Amino acid sequence: MSSDEQHLLGVRRPTASALVLAAVAGYVDAYVYLRVTEVFIANQSGNLILGGITAAGGEVGQVLLPFASVLAYVAGAAAAAAAFDRPDRQGRGRLVDTLVAVVVVLAGCAAALQWAGEGLTPSPRTALTTAVVAAAAAAMGAQATAIRRAGGVSVLTTASTGSITSLGVEMGRHRGSMDPAARARAARLLALVLCYVGGAAGGAALSVHTARGPELLIVPCLALVALLVAQLAQD
Residue 1 has pLDDT above 60, yes or no: no
- pLDDT tens digits, one per residue of 196-232: 999 999 999 999 999 889 999 999 999 999 999 998 8
Roughly how many angstroms between the first and final C-alpha of the chain, as a whole number?
A: 10
Domain range annotation of the chain: 3-232
Which of 171, 217, 107, 134 has its CA nearest to residue 142? 134
> What integer pLDDT is reported at residue 36 of this predicted model?
93
Residue 58 has pLDDT above 90, yes or no: no
- pLDDT tens digits, one per residue of 3-14: 444 454 677 888
> What integer pLDDT is reported at residue 104 of this predicted model?
96
Half-sphere exposure of residue 190: CA atoms within 13 angstroms, side-chain side: 9
- pLDDT tens digits, one per residue of 165-183: 666 666 666 555 666 777 7
140 in Cβ contact with 25 (< 8 Å): yes
Segment 84-104 mean pLDDT? 79
Q: Computed from CA positions of residues 4, 9, 15, 16, in that sequence, does the dihedral angle turn out positive or negative?
A: negative
Residue 186 has pLDDT above 80, yes or no: no
Q: Which of 106-110, 124-128, 172-176 has the lowest mean pLDDT?
A: 172-176
Mean pLDDT for all residues in the chain: 83
Residue 54 has pLDDT above 90, yes or no: no
- pTM of the predicted model as reported, rounded to 2 decimal places: 0.87
Q: Which CATH class is domain 3-232?
A: mainly alpha
Q: What angle do CA 139, 192, 157 make, to 5 degrees?
A: 20
> What integer pLDDT is reported at residue 155 of this predicted model?
61
What is each CA distance from 77 to 113, 125, 211, in whole angstroms?
Answer: 24, 24, 33
